[in-house]
Amino acid sequence: MRTCIAFLLLGSLAFAAPAESDLDRAGQLYAHANFTAAARLLDHGAAAHDPRSLALLGQCYYMLGEFKKATETLEKASAAAPSDSMVLTWLGRAWGMRAESAFPLAAIGQAGKSRDAFERALRLDPSNNEALGDLFDFYMAAPGMIGGGLDKAESLLPKYQQYDPVGYHIAKARIEEKKERYPNAENSFRKAVEVVPHRVSLVLELAQYLHRRGRYDESEREFRHAAEIAPESPSVLYARANSYIAAHRNVEQARDLLKKYLASTNLTPDDPPRWEAQKLLRKAEVL
């Protein structure tokens, strides 16, 4: 739930850039998920000190799973552009991923930096739906001792209603599911699909919810529906594999789906990064 096309970010920073052709080319490479080549193009000479290039380079490092480099680069970009909401959003993501693999004491501090970055991003731009979604995810997942909590997640619902009405239904559904009010949760998931019936991400949300509830036949119908809407979408492969692995079922099929995902040549920044799929595949290998 959580990427932004590079060109939008590049246009949001009013700074002088290095050779425009390098920046444009890096943006094109990023848009086609060629993050290694984009990073190589940006991480040299004057480009390594340009705020727009730093922001895009930090995104590349994140998508490559190099989270230490991502935080260091995005901190520099944020210092150069302190009012840029999207830079802070990416910075929050990078700190969050570092927290996931850190020792407990370090993880608490890094998680706090992640939360702070998301909150600052949303204060700077209340209409930044990327930051809204990431902050919601943080509140839902994090314990109260590091600033999470269901009550804080619920406090974001009015912002969803104002700035992301479709996202409101998904957020409401996840809160209802957390409270074990399953009929209400399903109703909200289905409302989101009704509002935008051909958005594959919403159909996948419903499919995964049904799978979590053990309603496998219904879930499979929704996964097939998602594949019909977007036959070439790698995200369908990933979502299906993720559901199978979480339920410890169809594990061999899940492995095949993930291998197919990793071999895809049409990934975009909106699809889960390859490191996420590799991490999930390693989990499947031991089931």
Q: Which domains does the chain have, with CATH numbers?
A: 180-231 (1.25.40.10), 238-287 (no CATH)
Question: What is residue 22's predicted lDDT score, i.e. its pLDDT?
Answer: 84
Rounded to an integer, what distance in angstroms lies between the CA atom of residue 203 and that of residue 199? 7
Nearest by Cα to 222 from 241, 238, 236, 242: 236
Question: What is residue 26's predicted lDDT score, i.e. its pLDDT?
Answer: 94
Q: What distance lies between CA 17 and its chain's CA centroid?
A: 27
Indicate the length of the chain as a whole number: 287
* Model pTM score: 0.91
Is the separation of the CB atoms in 228 and 197 below 8 Å?
Answer: no
Rounded to an integer, what distance in angstroms lies between the CA atom of residue 4 and that of residue 1? 10
Give the angle 73-78-83 at the CA atoms, nearest 5°: 160
How confident is the chain (287 residues) per 10-residue block, as mean pLDDT? Answer: 41 46 90 96 73 95 98 96 97 97 93 98 98 98 96 98 98 98 98 98 98 98 98 97 98 98 97 97 95
Question: What is residue 48's predicted lDDT score, i.e. its pLDDT?
Answer: 65
Q: What are phi and psi of 268, to 5 degrees?
A: -125, 170
Number of Cβ atoms within 10 Å of the Cβ of 36: 12
pLDDT in tens, 249-261: 999 999 999 999 9
Question: What is residue 47's predicted lDDT score, i.e. its pLDDT?
Answer: 59
Question: What is residue 45's predicted lDDT score, i.e. its pLDDT?
Answer: 54
Question: What is residue 6's predicted lDDT score, i.e. its pLDDT?
Answer: 42
Rounded to an integer, what distance in angstroms lies between the CA atom of residue 71 and that of residue 25? 23
Rounded to an integer, what distance in angstroms lies between the CA atom of residue 133 and that of residue 169? 12
Task: Tokens 């969803």: give the residue.
Answer: 160
